[in-house]
Amino acid sequence: MTISTFSLPRNIIYGENALDHLSQLTGKKAALVTGGSSMKRLGFLQRAEDLLKQAKFDCIIIDNVEPNPSIETVRRGAKAMLDFQPDWIVAIGGGSALDAAKVMWCFYEHPHLSFEDIIPVGAMPPLRTKARFVAIPSTSGSASEITAFSVITDSRNHIKYPIVAADMVPDIAILDPLIPAKMPPDVTVHTGMDVLTHALEAYVSTAATSFTDPYAVEAIRLVFENLETAYLQPENMTARFNMHNASALAGIAFTNASLGLVHSMAHKIGGEFGITHGLANAIMLPYIIQYNRLSTDKYRQLEKTLRINDLIDVIRDLNRRLNIPSTLKECRETAIEERKFNAVLERMSKNALADPCTLTNPGHPDVEDVRILYQQSYYGEEAFMFLVN
């Protein structure tokens, strides 16, 4: 029997107006990290800064983190931190802002490291020698506020790298459903399907345990019962509260059990074409579940627990109700041209297989399996004929 670990933030503050907890922090300097403009436009960034100033903090703002945070952005933020010397880093925004802030934190504490130094799992040295970390998500999806994961893009080579380090689990996660209540409908849908994918992949992960499964199952149940309502009724605070909690619960599951092929493949096609991560997950999820059924009976167990007949049918029906296309070829968000798709297919397949998330996928996929799954997700092919080694 192998020895496992289970980790989560020391404090999870959740509920309406949980953001007010910032006024209870103690320290001298805080660096606020955020994305483009939504947190500023909606007043949440100013509210966070005001609360920190109530607690006698001097603050700087590091903003303009892009949707797929780049190595260059991470370095820019780390330099600002090195100049300012904060003792708290407060990330507020979507998963991109939280992910970027985590790696800025790493380079602030260890400026001698290169990006290549931290890519291998477990390679990051200890944090908290200079600062502690608060994560405040504006979307109910990435669960970066809970996890030991960060995804950073090498924009020159069009590759997304998942960075995994236990020390990146935030000290404090603040889950205030008033913030994601302002999400546009498409963001609600894409981040919500990311939650579902996190939970499902954690549940069937080869590293899943009796510690992680309950969190995954509850997250799946909450998504099935609340995502469509949050999409159709944006101001429904019960649905928002449940989806925000589902995101965190799924994060607890996958930061301890890891993920699988859906995320590996979404990382790589996202790096090539810029498709939103949650949308890529939602489209590819049914195809990869069908493949994974060859190697695990946990989907059947889940169907029994949730009292549903066919998980794939339920997901496809949910996708239709949320206006998610059934194939990558039909994607309207960003054009994935057939010629370019086929030109990068082999490279994407190899890179996805090498992604750390593949390590805990059920079965033993090879490059050919991944290539076929990309093709099925693109064309909508229904023939699942795989060689069993």
Q: What is the pLDDT of residue 169?
A: 92
What is the DSSP secondary-structure string of 320-341? HHTT--SSSTT-SSS---HHHH
Among residues 37, 155, 151, 30, the alpha carbon closest in space to that of 95 is found at: 151
Tell me what the mean pLDDT of segment 14-18 comes to.
95
Highest mean pLDDT among 86-90, 178-182, 266-270: 86-90
Q: Is 363 helix (H, G, I), strand (E, B) or coil?
A: coil
Among residues 196, 375, 190, the alpha carbon closest in space to that of 269 is found at: 375
Q: What is the pLDDT of residue 103?
A: 97
Q: Is the dihedral of CA 241, 247, 248, 253 positive or negative?
A: positive
Six-digit token string for 18 = 């949980």
Average pLDDT over the chain reads 93
Q: What is the pLDDT of residue 389?
A: 37
| Per-residue pLDDT tens over the stretch 99-117 | 999 999 999 999 999 999 9
Instruction: Assess whether pLDDT exceeds 90 at residue 16.
Output: yes
| Per-residue pLDDT tens over the stretch 38-75 | 999 999 999 999 999 999 999 999 999 998 899 999 99
Tell me what the mean pLDDT of segment 72-82 comes to.
97
Q: Is 385 exposed, middle or buried (0-12, 13-18, 19+ CB in 10 A)?
A: exposed
| Rounded Cα gap, residues 176 and 241, in angstroms | 8
Q: Is 37 helix (H, G, I), strand (E, B) or coil?
A: coil
Among residues 195, 241, 205, 234, the alpha carbon closest in space to that of 356 is found at: 205
Q: What is the pLDDT of residue 284?
A: 98
| Per-residue pLDDT tens over the stretch 131-147 | 999 999 999 988 999 98
Sort strands 132-137 and 88-93 into parallel, antiparallel or unpaired: parallel
Q: Is 138 helix (H, G, I), strand (E, B) or coil?
A: coil
Please report, rounded to a whole number, the percentage of residues in the chain having pLDDT higher than 90. 84
| Rounded Cα gap, residues 179 and 192, in angstroms | 15
Q: What is the pLDDT of residue 162?
A: 84
| Rounded Cα gap, residues 342 and 339, in angstroms | 5
Tell me what the mean pLDDT of segment 86-107 comes to.
96
Q: How sure is the predictor about 119, in pLDDT bands with cuts at 50, 70 and 90?
A: very high
What percent of the chain is helix, strand and coil (3-state, nearest 5)?
55, 10, 35
**DSSP tag of 126:** P
Greater confidence (166 vs 31) lies with 31
- Tally of CB atoms within 10 A around 369: 20
CB 248 within 8 A of CB 216: no
Sort strands 149-154 and 159-164 into parallel, antiparallel or unpaired: antiparallel
Instruction: Assess whether pLDDT exceeds 50 at residue 383.
Output: no
Conformation bin of residue 178: beta by default, left when phi > 0, alpha when psi is -120 to 50: alpha
Q: Is 220 helix (H, G, I), strand (E, B) or coil?
A: helix
Among residues 276, 320, 92, 281, the alpha carbon closest in space to that of 184 is found at: 276
Q: How sure is the predictor about 386, in pLDDT bands with cuts at 50, 70 and 90?
A: very low
Q: What is the pLDDT of residue 125?
A: 93
Tell me what the mean pLDDT of segment 182-199 comes to.
95
Domains of the chain with bracketed CATH: 11-180 (3.40.50.1970), 183-379 (1.20.1090.10)
Half-sphere exposure of 319 (CA within 13 A, CB side): 23
Instruction: Assess whether pLDDT exceeds 80 at residue 384.
Output: no
| Per-residue pLDDT tens over the stretch 232-279 | 999 999 999 999 999 999 999 998 999 999 999 999 999 899 899 999
CB 166 within 8 A of CB 119: no
Instruction: Assess whether pLDDT exceeds 60 at residue 382.
Output: no
